Homo-oligomer: A and B are copies of this chain.
Amino acid sequence: MNLASDNVTGASEEIIEAVARAARGSAAAYGGDEVTARLDKLFADLFETDVTVFPLATGTAANSLALAAMTPPYGAIYCHEAAHIANDECNAPEFYTGGAKLVPLRGANSKLDAGALNAAIAGATPHGEHNAQPAALSLSQATELGGSYSLEEIAALTGIARRHGIGVHMDGARIANSVVHLGCSFADVTWRAGVDALSFGATKNGALGAEALVFFGGDAAARIPFLRKRGGHLLSKMRFISAQLEAYLTDDLWRRNAVHANAMAQELAAGLGAIPGARLLHPVEANELFIELPAAVLAGIRGAGHIMPPWGDGEGNAVRLVTAFDTNAAELETFIAAAIALAR
């Protein structure tokens, strides 16, 4: 099995069919098509409020554009030190903001700590033009270690942002998994909890390559069309992204996919976690688990051709395992059984 990531997956059949269907005939370019036009209503229904939606091809584009719309080039963006925007996007947020600073903060299980956030903003404000100005807070839901912020945790952090007049962005590359895990609505976990803009991920949960940048009011969205074009992210045949998003939101495909991925993660956690010497490193609250396994088990699994890249500095026995919408349940059962057998 390839458990390296949920972006090693293919795509849901419904999404491929939607793209094929959209390819028939001509349609206005650059998002002037009918599929794209239908997205506003679909997303408004999903989020139970009016939204502004920008279809995009990558999550890094969504994150960077959202932050660029909120942050002046002399701004500071507060995020967890493990955040994807800080570690895995090769300075894309700095690029799109024109040189804003990401301020990495600590916190258990890759969740931002309210105290650390408060202290960082407080430390920045009295120095006038000498330091970066507090401008945005960015949260990842699910987090980089497979956790899901509770609604209360989100509200506590966004409340701090609100008090200091800074915007709130949520990196939702795996937001469907968190919504399923929390048993809440998309509205609950975003604007009702104080989020201004969301990178709504679909690629990891069944799309070929489709994300949506969603704004819940405010005037930052008005700058996105220009920032998007300037970034080379205005697709001429946008309908092929929009069609993926439409299929993703139709008949709860997003939910079915995320429910499956999360269930597979729980199964994996239960199975591998019971191996003597195994140790789950973080709570499993979405579709990822981080686990230390006995060296012999690891070696055996890898020897059988399964793909499980090391986690961390690569010297220990920790791995990150990611399940997905297309994880085969039967294969997974066999895989777990084999791991247990290796541990004997």
User: Taking beta carbons and an 8 Å cutoff, which residues of A are in contact with B?
Assistant: 2, 4-5, 7-11, 16, 19-20, 22-30, 57-61, 63-65, 72-75, 87-92, 94-102, 104, 122-123, 126-133, 203-204, 208-209, 223, 225-237, 240-241, 313-314, 326
A4-B29, A7-B237, A10-B24 provided; 8 other pairs, C-beta below 8 A? A8-B26, A9-B26, A73-B91, A73-B94, A73-B227, A74-B90, A101-B102, A129-B234
The 8 Å CB contact of A74, one of B2, B101, B122, B226, is: B226
Contact check, A129 vs B98: say whether CB atoms are below 8 A apart.
no
The 9 A-B residue pairs whose C-beta atoms are closest, nearest first, are A61-B232, A94-B99, A10-B23, A60-B232, A7-B236, A74-B226, A90-B229, A129-B225, A2-B26
Alpha-carbon distance A227/B99, docked complex (angstroms): 11
Alpha-carbon distance A64/B235, docked complex (angstroms): 15
Contact check, A95 vs B92: say whether CB atoms are below 8 A apart.
no
Contact check, B88 vs A130: say whether CB atoms are below 8 A apart.
yes
Contact check, B20 vs A88: say whether CB atoms are below 8 A apart.
no
Copies of chain A in the complex: 4
Alpha-carbon distance A277/B29, docked complex (angstroms): 31
The 8 Å CB contact of A91, one of B57, B74, B225, B236, is: B74
Alpha-carbon distance A208/B2, docked complex (angstroms): 28
Nearest CB of chain B from residue A59's CB, rounded to whole Å: 8
Alpha-carbon distance A204/B230, docked complex (angstroms): 20
Nearest CB of chain B from residue A97's CB, rounded to whole Å: 8
Alpha-carbon distance A234/B10, docked complex (angstroms): 17
Nearest CB of chain B from residue A158's CB, rounded to whole Å: 24
Residues of B within 8 A of A27 (CB): 8, 10
Contact check, A95 vs B230: say whether CB atoms are below 8 A apart.
yes
Contact check, A237 vs B225: say whether CB atoms are below 8 A apart.
no
Alpha-carbon distance A132/B131, docked complex (angstroms): 22
Residues of B within 8 A of A236 (CB): 7, 58-59, 203-204, 209
Residues of B within 8 A of A75 (CB): 91
Nearest CB of chain B from residue A100's CB, rounded to whole Å: 6
Chain B residue at minimal CB-CB distance from A65: B232
Query: If A99-B95, A313-B123 touch, does A128 touch B225 (CB 8 Å cutoff)?
Result: yes
Contact check, B74 vs A230: say whether CB atoms are below 8 A apart.
yes
Alpha-carbon distance A30/B203, docked complex (angstroms): 13
Nearest CB of chain B from residue A69's CB, rounded to whole Å: 11
Contact check, B99 vs A98: say whether CB atoms are below 8 A apart.
yes
Residues of B within 8 A of A98 (CB): 73, 95, 98-99
Nearest CB of chain B from residue A194's CB, rounded to whole Å: 26
Contact check, A132 vs B91: say whether CB atoms are below 8 A apart.
yes
Residues of B within 8 A of A233 (CB): 58, 61, 232
